[in-house]
Amino acid sequence: MRREQSQRRLLFTAIGGASTIVVAVIAFGVYREFVQFPGEPVARVYAAPVSLRTFTDTLSDEMRRLQSQSAGLQNNPGAASSQIQQLLSAQETMPEAVLETEIEKSLVRHEAQQRGVTVSKEDVDTKVNEFLSIQRDVLNQPTPTKTPTATPRPTGTPTPEGFEPSPTATPTATLEPTSTLGPEETPPPSPTPTPTATVDPSFTATPTNTPRFTRTPVVTATLPATMEPSDFDKAYRDFASIIRSESIYRRGVEDQLYRKNLRDAIGAAAPTQGPRAHVLRLTGTTVDEMKVALISLRGNFSTFEDLVDQSADRLVESRETGDLGFVGQGAEMREFDEIVFSDATPLGEWTEPFAAGHHFEIVKVVERQPSGPYDAKNREKIKDRLFADWLAQSKASPEIVREFSAQERAWAVDRASRGIFSTETTR
Q: For residue range 191-232, what is the model confidence (pLDDT) as tens digits? A: 444 444 444 444 444 444 444 434 444 444 444 467 888 888
How would you label 169-201 residue by residue, b for 16+ Cβ within 10 Å and e otherwise? eeeeeeeeeeeeeeeeeeeeeeeeeeeeeeeee
**Residues 229-253: tens digit of each pLDDT:** 888 888 888 888 888 889 889 999 9
pLDDT value of residue 141: 65
In the three-class reduction of DSSP (H, G, I as helix; E, B as strand; rest coil), residue 368 is classed as strand
Stretch 369-373: mean pLDDT: 95
pLDDT value of residue 219: 42
Continuous segment of H or E residues that includes residue 38: none
Domains and their CATH numbers in the chain: 274-373 (3.10.50.40)
Length of the chain equals 427
Stretch 14-32: mean pLDDT: 83
Q: Residue 39: CA atoms inside 13 Å, Cβ hemisphere, count?
A: 5
Q: Contact at 8 Å (CB) between 327 and 333?
A: no
351/205: higher pLDDT: 351
pLDDT value of residue 336: 95
31/307: higher pLDDT: 307
**Residues 257-290: tens digit of each pLDDT:** 999 999 999 999 899 999 999 999 999 989 999 9
pLDDT value of residue 311: 78
Is it the case that residue 19 has pLDDT exceeding 60?
yes
In the three-class reduction of DSSP (H, G, I as helix; E, B as strand; rest coil), residue 269 is classed as helix
70/303: higher pLDDT: 303
Is it the case that residue 25 has pLDDT exceeding 50?
yes
pLDDT value of residue 86: 62
pLDDT value of residue 187: 45
Stretch 117-136: mean pLDDT: 91
Which segment, 28-42, 115-129, 161-175, is predicted with the most confidence on average?
115-129
pLDDT value of residue 75: 60
